[in-house]
A and B are shown apart, each in its own frame.
Chain A
Amino acid sequence: MTEDRNAFFEQYDKKTHVLGRMTCLICIVLFVGAPFVMGIVLGAMPDLGAFARGFLAIGPVWLVSCVAEYLIYVPMLGSGGSYLAFVTGNLINMKIPCAINARDIVGAKSGTAENEIISTLSIATSSLVTIVVLALGVLLLIPLQPILQSPTLQPAFDNVVPALFGAMAFKYYKGNLKVAAIPVLMMTLLFLFVPSMLGSVSFMIIPSGGIAIAIAYYFYKKAGAR
């Protein structure tokens, strides 16, 4: 990267953080403030005692999950993509695979300016598509409901995530079988012998990803030594 490009990207990155922080702060205020504004419309305010009990019961699990997601996904998404993804949600079932797919299609390398741009474009586009699809869906809810909820189509919509991960698995296992074999085998054995873990799949991404990275590192170093 030439010095001019470096300086331009530095400036872009700096402004991304300012914009990202500002918009995230506004979103926090909007999301937390919304129930109180709704309360004015509905004529009732949140029961803070029930809220505190509920938070103590389920909050810590999601707090840990959010911290883990944050640490894992920021390196994948870059700065702009991260700010957008944590506001727009649906990370595992859409944003992460979408950004990774886009990155691979154009061959962007992590930590580069190109990766930052591609990731932001990908997350912004997918978020806008979700917003538009849901807005159209809500607008057409009455005519669409019988189609979307028809018992015939139910298995299709119940299996969006397996369809996505099946396709992604082939794409990423192909050419990386040495890295994939042990994590997929270990996860299969774990879920077969400890079925209670089926409720914690999103948490098991951490050890599974850790094992995959360790194996990848081994082969990476081995290739470098040759």
Chain B
Amino acid sequence: MLTQLNSSAMYLICGSIIAFVAVMCVVFMIRAYRAGVALGMDTTKMKRTITASATFAVLPSVGILLGVIALSGSLGTPIPWLRLSVIGALHYETQVAEAAAEQTGITLSASQMTPTAVVTIVLLMSVCIMWGMVLSVFFTKKYSRKLKGKASQGEAEDTAEAGGKGIVGFGDVAMTAMFIGLVSAYIGSYFGQIKASGNWLSLAVAAVGALAMAVFILIREKKDQEWIDGFSIAGSMIIAMAAAVFLAKL
């Protein structure tokens, strides 16, 4: 079965879809860059965004690659490659693949896999997570316009309230707060893991990541080295992940 799943035809099907999404990203990127130039945006800022996002994405991508390897034992390499290159999410794929395998009456292992089970699993994996795209097709235009309307209304109110002092609009405050909420949920869960399973490594790694970030920010502020901003997250992650290797031995 694995030979069939790793055949050139399967690589071709999955590779073509990934290539389409890659082209889509390139088109959006070029359009955005050109629009930025036309709007008079600082090209240095846009280039910094690209550099920072690229360095930021490398390590999580290696983590995602491990997801591909983990699933390749049961689903072959092309299917997890497709799922995790586009649309999928690391925490989602294995969970859904296992649940889908269960519904087809097998467990997620190559020895039990049948062609019917594989294609049923892939269909279920695709349908269960496609709602973000479906909502995008029908609602993003209206939703983002509504948000834009609120943002400009808020900006006008803020400017009036602040007497034109340039106070940051609540839209930005809310975005930062939402992100703080997101991070807090994960940090809280690392404490919970200690009690639930004795796993203190996640919290320790997060603490090292935070400490490394503190050092990067200190250097950035004391030495006025703006370029550090673009690499501070990736740098902190490398330090924290390296620390995990040593901490795990304790």
Asked if A44 contacts B114 (CB within 8 A), the reply is yes
Q: Which residues from A are CB-within-8-Å of B20?
A: 26-27, 30
Known: A66-B131, A70-B132, A125-B57. A205 touches B182 (CB 8 A): yes
| Interface range, A side | 35 or more
Partner of B188, one of A42, A69, A137, A190: A190
| Majority-rule SS of A interface residues | helix
Within 58-116 of B, Cβ neighbours of A (below 8 Å) are at 58-66, 68-69, 72, 77, 79, 81-82, 84-92, 96, 99-100, 102-105, 114-116
Contacting pair B209 A165 (CB below 8 A): yes
Q: Which of A131, A138, A165 contacts B187 (CB 8 A)?
A: A165
Q: Are A125 and B53 in contact (CB under 8 A)?
A: yes
What 0/1 readout, one digit per residue, does chain A (191-210) give for beta carbons within 8 Å of chain B?
11001011001101100111
B60 pairs with A74, CB closer than 8 A: no
Distance, CA A163 to CA B2, complexed state (A): 34
Convert A55-85 into 0s and 1s, putting 1 for each residue whose CB lies closer than 8 angstroms to a CB of B.
Answer: 1011100110011011010111011101111
Please name the 7 residue pairs, one residue from A and one from B, whose CB atoms are nearest each other, closest first. Answer: A191-B192, A111-B151, A187-B188, A166-B209, A209-B181, A166-B206, A54-B103
Q: How extensive is the interface on chain B, given as a class? A: 35 or more
Among candidates B66, B132, B177, residue contacting A148 with C-beta atoms closer than 8 Å: B66
Known contacts A82-B144, A97-B233, A109-B169; A12/B240 CB under 8 A:
no
A113 contacts across to B, CB distance below 8 A: 35, 39
Are A41 and B237 touching (Cβ within 8 A)? no
CB of B106 to closest CB in A, whole Å? 10
Find the A residue at minimum CB distance from B27.
A19
Instruction: Give the chain A neighbours of B58 by CB distance below 8 A.
Output: 129, 133
Residue in A closest to B203 when the chains form the complex, CB atoms? A162
- Would you list 10 pairs from A and B whose C-beta atoms are within 8 A, ordered by A residue? A34-B122, A36-B119, A62-B131, A106-B49, A117-B32, A117-B35, A125-B57, A160-B60, A162-B240, A170-B209
Please tell me if the beta carbons of B188 and A184 are within 8 angstroms of each other in the complex.
yes
A70 to B193, CA, bound (A): 28
Decide if B28 touches A209 in the complex (CB within 8 Å).
no
Residues of A within 8 A of B172 (CB): 109-110
Contact of A27 among B116, B133, B196 (CB under 8 A): B133
* B150 partner residues in chain A, CB cutoff 8 A: 111
Minimum C-beta distance from B224 to chain A (A): 15
Q: Contacts of B132 on A, CB cut-off 8 Å?
A: 66, 69-70, 85-86
Q: Across the interface, which residues of B come within 8 angstroms of A205, CB to CB?
A: 181-182, 185
Q: Is A143 in contact with chain B by the CB < 8 A criterion?
A: no
Per a CB cutoff under 8 Å, which of B50, B188, B232 touches A125?
A: B50
> Among the listed A87, A167, A180, which residue makes an inter-chain contact with B237, where contact means beta carbons less than 8 Å apart?
A167
CA distance A1 to B218 in the complex (A): 35
Contact among B35, B162, B244 for A224, CB-based, below 8 A: B162
Query: From A141, which residue of chain B is reached at the shortest CB distance?
Result: B77
A76 CA to B172 CA, complexed, in Å: 9
User: A27, B87: Cβ atoms under 8 Å?
Assistant: yes
CB pair A121 B50 closer than 8 Å: yes
| Contact B63 A166, beta carbon cutoff 8 Å | no
Which residue from B134, B161, B237 sits with its C-beta under 8 Å from A160? B237
Contact B187 A212 (CB under 8 A): no
Among candidates A34, A121, A213, residue contacting B181 with C-beta atoms closer than 8 Å: A213
Q: A55's contact among B28, B124, B217, by CB below 8 Å, is which?
A: B124
Inter-chain contacts of A198 with B (CB < 8 A): 189, 192-193, 196
Q: Which of B100, B188, B201 contacts A54 (CB 8 A)?
A: B100
Q: Is the CB of A89 within 8 A of B86?
A: yes
Candidates B7, B39, B52, B131; contact of A8 at CB < 8 Å: B39
Please tell me which one of the listed residues A63, A106, A126, A217 contacts residue B170 in the complex, with CB atoms under 8 A apart.
A217
Compute how far the CA of A59 lies from the CA of B124 in the bound complex, rounded to whole angstroms.
Answer: 8
Question: Within 8 Å CB of A100, what residues of B?
Answer: 175, 179
Q: Could you mark each residue 11-44 of chain A with 1 if its beta carbon is under 8 Å from any beta carbon of chain B, else 0?
A: 0100111011101111110111011111101111
B25 within 8 A of A: yes
Residue of A nearest to B190 (CB): A162
Q: Name the residue of chain B whose CB is nearest to the CB of A8.
A: B38
Please report the C-alpha to C-alpha distance between residue A86 and residue B245 in the assembled complex, in whole angstroms.
Answer: 33
